[in-house]
Chain A
Amino acid sequence: MATMATQIRRDVLRMVHAVSSGHPGGSLGCVDYFTALHFHFMKHKAQPFTMNGRGEDVFFLSNGHISPVYYSTLARSGYFPVSELATFRKLNTRLQGHPATHEHLPGIRVATGSLGQGLSVAAGLALQKKIDKDPHTVWVVTGDGELQEGQIWEAVMFAAHRKLDNMIVAVDFNQKQIDGSTGDVMGLTEWTSKFLAFGWEVLELEGNNWDDIMSVVPRAQYKLGGGKPVVIIMKTEMGQGVDFMMGTHAWHGKAPNDDQLAKALAQLPETEHKDY
């Protein structure tokens, strides 16, 4: 999985570089968790992709701007050809700037990008699985800045009220957003107590540490079925894996130039999975 994660980081960098746009920072921070879910924890089927997700685990990305890591992970887990990553953000692509269903990209079940909406949609599918007695899990990633959206808390209330204990939501706690640190822009504190007060199970995770991922995610899974939705406060480093992209919010929505790409890729050598 570590080599796959390295390959996905290379994909992310090359995708955003090719179109001089996109969101590498949060993507790089979430690579390890995406890789662990799609290549280890999730019981999902890439081929043939079925929109309704019946009889399988389903993943939703609520903060759709980290589409590069999502697309690379989907392609490398077999949803569509890896070569298609080269079309990211280009005219007539299925890989829109933010994830969409409009072009029928396998793996995507709802458009996200306008923040705060994906968690509600995921709660709806989790509810459908409850109604239809489908025992599979709905996995969600949201941003931490995204929690500033009011709709998130409507969904948090709803999921607890409906006892959606078939959901595992990871909040990408990188503490950065476009305008700066989340604390400066709109400080939210007491994350764990907030979710506990809303009636959720809460776990904390070092999201760029494999050992921690491999021990905390099973603990989250163990809590499924306990009458409460589960949230993982996942601490990550924006830009993880590229030294000059870490420790700053500067790379939230900025692509590297040619020199920066070369420097970044040098820190992440190509793997057996090969560049697209």
Chain B
Amino acid sequence: MKSYEILGQKDTRSGFGAGLHEAGKRNSNVVALCADLTGSLMMDAFKDEFPERFIQAGIAEANMIGVSAGLAIGGKIPFAGTFANFATGRVYDQIRQSVAYSHKNVKICASHAGLTLGEDGATHQILEDIGLMKMLPGMVVINPCDYNQTKAATMAIAEYNGPCYLRFGRPKWPVFIPEDMPFEIGKALMLNEGKDVTIFATGHMVWKAIEAGHILAEKGIDAEVVNIHTIKPLDRDAILASAKKTGCVVTAEEHQMNGGLGDSIAQLLSRELPTPMEFVAVDDSFGESGTPDQLLEKYGLTSAAIAEAAVRAIARKA
């Protein structure tokens, strides 16, 4: 199992803030909107350098999505930011009609996603957002794994013409993706080539998957670890090739099992290449208050849980 050096501990939302600032420097059509959470989304650098391109939307998310669609009609590239819960479930119909169905070049930037938001509890810990967004025709859905990847993804979606959902989080998390690695929308990232089982992971769970790879290596299991940062469009070829090679699959995500990455991969494999599969995800439950680590432990989103799932998957191989 390949070892990755931890380059630092940083929150992915700061990667978003840095990427937005850089995208704003590169393209004067980039504008940013926020619903009263500018500091939480680390949008201050953009706001301070480009005050005329920063739009405070107030606690009125539905209007923020509509205004973003209007700005996009006029040729702007709006990045609309708030917490993931308020960026999706609260404004689903606005995104559906004004952005997705109307194919507007709006970037929905969702922070504090998943359990790792922590102490604020389940009202704010959305675990359904990937599902909500991936169901919308034409919506690109991205959940990067660390600071550097989030920064690169933010800059990449600025150059892509169409609606995008970018999901990131609150806690400090290991940084291991090289700073200069370009982000390719829809392209799976191979982190470790292996032959016994494939772990497909997204978001914060990618680091947990790498840790799981080391646990498995100690047991003599050679795990392939693949970072699926883009849940839609899914990298079909990479997933099918890896599943064919290893013969069994584990998915890992900080999201409901229903509607998440695992669900997308299961759909692909069941049609093209039926493969034994295990899921590491939240199983039909809301979250609760606690520290991120406590919550990940309680809801089974740990490296040990991924390793155990891999052993189960291997046992199911014909």
Contact = CB atoms under 8 A, between A and B. Distances in A.
Contacts of A155: 63, 66-67
A154 B33 CA distance: 15
Nearest to A156: B63
Contact of B73 (A53, A112, A113, A119): A53
B102 A128 contact: no
Contacts of A158: 57-58, 60, 63, 67
Contacts, number: 114
B97 interface: yes
B53 A131 contact: yes
A110 B99 CA distance: 8
A142 to B, nearest CB: 13
B71 A102 contact: no
Contact of A125 (B53, B57, B74, B103): B74
B98 A102 contact: no
B62 interface: yes
Interface string B91-122: 00110111001111000000000000000000
Contact of B65 (A120, A132, A150): A120
Nearest to A152: B63
B74 A121 contact: no
A150 B62 contact: yes
User: Which secondary structure dominates where chain A touches chain B?
Assistant: helix
Nearest to B100: A111
Given A54-B74, A114-B97, A154 B102 contact: no
B102 A111 contact: yes
Contacts of B70: 110, 120-128
Contacts of B31: 131
Given A51-B73, A120-B62, A128-B71, A151 B101 contact: no
A52 B72 CA distance: 8
Contact of B69 (A110, A113, A162): A110
B74 A117 contact: no
- The residue among A53, A102, A114, A117 with the most chain B CB atoms within 10 A of its own CB is A117
Which 7 A-B pairs rank lowest in CB-CB distance, beginning with the nearest? A124-B70, A120-B66, A128-B74, A154-B63, A124-B67, A154-B60, A125-B70
23 contacts: A52-B74, A53-B73, A54-B74, A100-B102, A102-B103, A111-B98, A111-B101, A114-B97, A116-B62, A120-B62, A120-B66, A120-B70, A120-B98, A121-B67, A121-B73, A124-B73, A124-B78, A128-B71, A151-B62, A154-B62, A155-B63, A157-B63, A158-B57
Interface of B: 31, 52-53, 55, 57-58, 60, 62-63, 65-76, 78, 93-94, 96-98, 101-104
Given A124-B78, A131-B53, A157-B60, 7 more contacts: A52-B75, A54-B74, A100-B101, A111-B98, A121-B69, A121-B70, A155-B66
Interface of A: 51-54, 100-102, 109-114, 116-129, 131-132, 150-151, 154-155, 157-158, 161-162
